[in-house]
Structure 1
Amino acid sequence: MAFGPVQLIVLGFDHPRFHGEIIAELERLRASDTVRVIDALAVHKDEDGALDVGHLSNLGQEEAIELGSKIGALIGLGIGGEEGMEAGSIAGAEAAAEGVHVLLESDDAWHVLGDIPNGTAAALLLIEHHWAVPLRDAVLRAGGYRIGDGFVSPLDLVAIGLHTAEEAQRLHAMETARGGTGG
């Protein structure tokens, strides 16, 4: 399995109106081999700060085991060299087969959960950009490497003519407004 770049996206919801639309879109992207959800958490934090966490992934068991094996091998390599890589690969595959969730094992995920205001919800999506595999490989074959990445705000696209100021303001407000305006 060729593995693409991985990104963690954290989305906030003041008054969530979940009707399956987000999951359906992630499934559509998976079916077209555009992205894969490695792991996802849907989190609701009540007014007292208590968390209710649900999981989502659109990896099949075989893909999850292979991914777990690769992640475990990388961790093991960093800790114990080649011997650690082999042990990590086995442990990662076993953990994935048992349904261990990457985000719940991540200190970064728990740090983000602490930032969610009481009485709101959030979605943490750990996605693989499978569409980017051929592009990444072409860049590597050309001797290139990634220096940085990030989302560009619609406001930054006005200066180069990709958005009008009004459209950029509308999109920026939609993307960043707490409580969402829905679309």
Structure 2
Amino acid sequence: MIPENHYCHKATLLPHDNLDKIYHDTVYGFPVEDDNELFERLILEINQAGLNWSLILKKQENFREAFDQFDIHKVAFYDDADRDRLLNNAGIIRNKLKVNATISNAQQILELQKEYGSFADWLDHHHPLPLKEWTKLFKKTFKFTGGEITKEFLMSTGYLAGAHHKECAVYQEVVGSGPAWLTK
């Protein structure tokens, strides 16, 4: 039985066209290999800090538009005019720390790509780590990341188990997609 406070239980009660339901059923916990998509997930998790995840999902398309489809190479070279544009964009979260973290993290991912080949390869290089070690690594590497942001990013991209309850209908789909947490 899935506990009532679990995301999977809540998702089962939502209509099929609800953004949380769609995210739960088709995105959350499935492995991601594309660096721009990994970057997007990281930035959405950062922007969710202190807010409701449903709000972030409602604004996701606005984020994609505002941040050039989360193209790491473009975002890494944003200048003051881009910062001002973003801070005046009512379609996204207009938080200066989060906007600056997004640009800084894009720059950091470019450095990781130089050293490891890709952001995904950097994650694979460090996998598996316990959450506490992942959190230390993320805090050392990226801006505006802490334990909860790191945990949710890693669960949402298949690096940590826990995105879905074992009795959730989506759990077996996630397992079948070969998430990193299955390999130790």
Q: What is the TM-score with the length of structure 1 in the denominator?
A: 0.27
Q: Which structure has the highest helix share of the two?
A: 2
Bigger Cα Rg? 1
Q: Which structure has the highest strand share of the two?
A: 1
